[in-house]
Each structure stands twice: as structure tokens, then as C-alpha cells.
Structure 1
Amino acid sequence: MSLQMSSSQTIGPYLHIGTDWLITTELAGADTAGERISIEGRVYDGNGAPVTDALVELWQADADGNYAGNSAGAEAGAGQPASAHAGFRGFGRTPTDSTGHFRFSTIMPGRLPGPGDMLQAPHIAVTVFARGLLKHLVTRIYFPDAAGNAEDPLLNAVPADRRGTLIAQPSSAKGSYQFDIVLQASPGGRPETVFLDV
């Protein structure tokens, strides 16, 4: 018998197999302490068209800067205390809909230690899986005028003219933010979101 290597596949028509049980858009329960916020946006491809079959994941710290269960690895503050807030999940995952739209409800994350014991600005880690990607993409959501933005080491490593792609914009509803993810820039279109090499 001869065995052949399987071909490499991108995220494809079977995206939901084995992941449906993890789909949740509520990262913090109703009793979780902190400022309630919602984040919504769309995922766009290099032609400016919505990506209707992407999967968006969020990881975040609680209002005190601690991760739930502290099991999310280095990005999620390994070695720090686990969140003591009841109902705080800190993780969400949802597919985009037929217009490329996604939405999450959560709380505003707190600041947490970064390199050299420097505090990072409040942020949410984002992972995107989509057709045509051999490897997932990772980025962050920062918030306008948040404490620590001016000193955040990662945010300040990004060229000033591209930093705006990491900052969510307030929507008309109180506590609501818009954060679009652009997978690739197109001429005359939206700038590509800054992605991290992790």
C-alpha cells in the first residue's frame, strides 16, 4: 500500500465542522464587573468585498487585566493571576454573516503587564481564519483615548500612518465600537489592517 501526503488546504467549506460548539459572542456574563461594550465590524478582502465565510476569534483580559483561567498562553498573560470575575469568559468566536459582519458583547479590558514590566494599553487580541489563508491572521483592537495608548510598546512600534487600523471607532450607541478588518489593501480602497507576526 502506498500512502500519499494530503494536500494543504485553506479554510474551506467545512469551516464549521468541530467548531460550532465554541461559537459564542458573549465574552462576559451579565454579572461580570466592568464597563459593558460591544464590538462589531466587517471583514473585507483585497477587492473591498465582504468575506462571508471568515471566522473571527477574540481573546481579552478582564477589567483588572487578568485572563480567564489564564490558559491562553503568552499573549494572554501566562503567569499572571486568573480572573476572579464571575461569568468572565474572555474568549469569543463567531463566523461572519452574508455581509461579512461580526458582533461581540463584552467588557472593556484592563491594562496588563507587557515587556519589561511596562503596562500595555487596554486591548483585545483578534484571530482571523478565512478562505485563501494558509495561516490565520492575528491583530489587536485598541480603543481611542484609552489610558496607556501613548506608551503601549506594540502600538508605538506600528508606523503612525497605519496605527489607525488597530483602533476601534466609537459608534453612535453608547459603549459600541466599530472595528473593520481588511485582509489586503486595494488601490483607492481601505488600508490593510496591521497584522502581527506571531
Structure 2
Amino acid sequence: MSELQVKPLQTTPSQTVGPFFSFGLVWEDGPYVVPEGTPGAFRIEGTVFDGAGVPVPDAVIETWQADQDGRFDHPDDPRGPVRWKDFRGFGRSATDPVGGYSLLTVKPGPLPVIGGGLEAPHLNVSVFSRGMLVRLVTRIYFPDEEANTADPVLTSIDPARRATLVAESAPHGYRFDIHLQGEHETVFFDL
């Protein structure tokens, strides 16, 4: 009987997402959570930056949100169906060559919290990018909401880092830059 020869283990080469992952993730009307001309619609725009502060030209930003009544466009929402025509609650924008993204949406309503209370209006955000095998998840809150001071998620964040989750007012709506790493890193959630 021959002896089994065992070769020393070698490191598996690293893998990355891309460079073609955006082909399946991006579609023409993805950046429109609501159609142009929807009452109360605004743009949320920003730039995705890497850890060195360089814009990321091939990221994808995905949002999921409630409508203005605080309801999700999903059959499992216990409060009933969305009453807004053409509201889909989901948006997806690829970044442009200088790392910019843009979505057309409406401000969501507050959400009930189990046991009482409300979550402040916010967008749930997923970030996909080259070199990341797992999406990053964060939220976008609005600067003009009194409910931010009682939101259970936002108030659980270190006060020095909360600003990384709050958009800034801008001429056509709001600006929200996403920093994947570094000194200004956006707060991301471990789901």
C-alpha cells in the first residue's frame, strides 16, 4: 500500500467582485423610487469614497424605504398596502466616473417600533463595490426631523459618529456622502 502524499497547504488567491458585477445590478429606471413630477419628490445625491478619500467610480447604491405614510411596498407590511401610485420603495443607482450617485424619491413617514415609539424617517441603504464580497448596510436620516432625537437606532450610535448617518440639505433635496473607510467612515450595521 502506498503512502498518501500530502502537499503543504497554499493560500487561495483572493477574489473580488467585478469588474463586471454592475451589469446585473444596474437598470435604466433604477434611480427612480418615484417617477419625475411626483409631488414632494426630491433628489438625494452624494459621492462614494474609499478609505483614502478617493471617489469610487464603480459602486452601486441601493435603497429601500417606506412611503410617506410609513408603509412599505411589500405584501407582508401589517399596516396594509402602499396607497401611493407608482411608489416602489426601492431604488438603485450606480456611481458615475467621479463616484457620484443620485436617486429620486420622497421622504418616508416614521415607522412604528415594536413596544411603542417611532423610528425617524430614513432610507435603508446597501452599498456594493469592487473588492467587497459582502454589502455594507447603513441608513440615511434627514436633518430636519425632530424624531431623530428619539430614534432607537440613531440614538444607539456614538454621538460623535451620528452625523455620518444624517444627510445635508442641498438645492434639489439632500446630499449624503458615503465613506467606506478612513477618518470619516460612515457608520455601517452588522446584520
Aligned to 1:79: 78
Kindly provide the amino acid, as one letter, of the partner of residue 69 in structure 2: D
- Cα distance change on mapping 1:70 and 1:102 into 2, 3 Å: farther
- Cα distance change on mapping 1:85 and 1:32 into 2, 3 Å: farther
Aligned to 1:91: 90
SS in 1 for 2:148: coil
After TM superposition, give the deviation of residue 70 of structure 1 in Å. Answer: 4.2
Aligned to 1:3: none
Q: What RMSD, in angstroms, separates the aligned Cα atoms of the two structures?
A: 2.0
Q: TM-score, normalised by structure 2?
A: 0.86
Aligned to 1:100: 99
2:190 is aligned, of 188, 193, 197, to 197
Aligned to 2:174: 177
- CA contact under 8 A between 1:29 and 1:86: conserved in structure 2? no
- CA contact under 8 A between 2:31 and 2:102: conserved in structure 1? yes
Aligned to 1:47: 52
- CA contact under 8 A between 1:23 and 1:94: conserved in structure 2? no
After TM superposition, give the deviation of residue 131 of structure 1 in Å. Answer: 1.1
After TM superposition, give the deviation of residue 22 of structure 1 in Å. Answer: 7.3
Q: TM-score, normalised by structure 1?
A: 0.83
Structure 2: 5+ residue stretches without partners: 1-11
Kindly provide the amino acid, as one letter, of the partner of residue 58 in structure 1: T
1:135 maps onto 2:134 in alignment: yes
Aligned to 1:28: 34
After TM superposition, give the deviation of residue 185 of structure 1 in Å. Answer: 1.1
Structure 1: 5+ residue stretches without partners: 1-5, 72-77
Kindly provide the amino acid, as one letter, of the partner of residue 79 in structure 1: P
- CA contact under 8 A between 1:30 and 1:87: conserved in structure 2? no
Percent of aligned pairs with the same residue? 44
After TM superposition, give the deviation of residue 48 of structure 1 in Å. Answer: 0.4
Kindly provide the amino acid, as one letter, of the partner of residue 136 in structure 1: R
Moved more, 87-96 or 16-25: 16-25
After TM superposition, give the deviation of residue 94 of structure 1 in Å. Answer: 1.3
Alignment deviations for residues 134-178 of structure 1 (CA, whole Å, 9 cap, x no partner): 21000000001313111100000001100000000001x1x5111
After TM superposition, give the deviation of residue 12 of structure 1 in Å. Answer: 1.1
Aligned to 1:155: 154
Q: Matched residues in 1 for 2:48 and 2:178: separation?
A: 5
- CA contact under 8 A between 1:31 and 1:86: conserved in structure 2? no
SS in 2 for 1:150: helix
Kindly provide the amino acid, as one letter, of the partner of residue 145 in structure 1: D
> How many pairs does the alignment contain?
180
Moved more, 91-100 or 78-87: 78-87
